[in-house]
Amino acid sequence: MKTVPLHRATAALTEFVAKRNDQPLVLTKQGKPVAFVLPCADADDVEHFSWAMSPKLRQFIHEASEDIRKGKGIPHDEFWRQLDEEYAVQDAHAEKIAATTKRPTIRSKAKGKP
């Protein structure tokens, strides 16, 4: 990991991008870290980093991990059964509304189900 004083950041950033580094670049002000630049290969890296930095997502994952640790989780197959059941209820409700309003029905499906 390279450390660069903030007043030299422009040149350091140019070099960082040109060399396609795989280590972060730490920017300092008066010898103390104030920011860092991370390398990324593509837009997915940016999205993954954004999610990783989300306090809400980290809290959600922490709470879910605690629930699982306490035995409050559900098995994989049960999760998909419940999801299918929920979509069936939504589809039935949408069909009922469509029958009374004479509008076309948009059917929902559980996507990404293995």
* The pLDDT of residue 19: 84
List, for the chain, all residue ranges whose pLDDT scores fall below the cut of 50.
Answer: none
* The pLDDT of residue 1: 72
* The pLDDT of residue 63: 94
CATH H-level superfamily of 1-39: YefM-like domain (3.40.1620.10)
Residue 92 tokens, joined: 């039935």
pTM of the full structure? 0.45
Residues 113 and 103: their CA atoms lie apart, in Å, by 29
Residue 65 tokens, joined: 């991990």
Residues 45 and 8: their CA atoms lie apart, in Å, by 26
Residues 97-107 have pLDDT tens digits of: 877 776 555 66
Q: At 28, which amino acid appears? A: T
* The pLDDT of residue 22: 82
Residues 31 and 91: their CA atoms lie apart, in Å, by 61
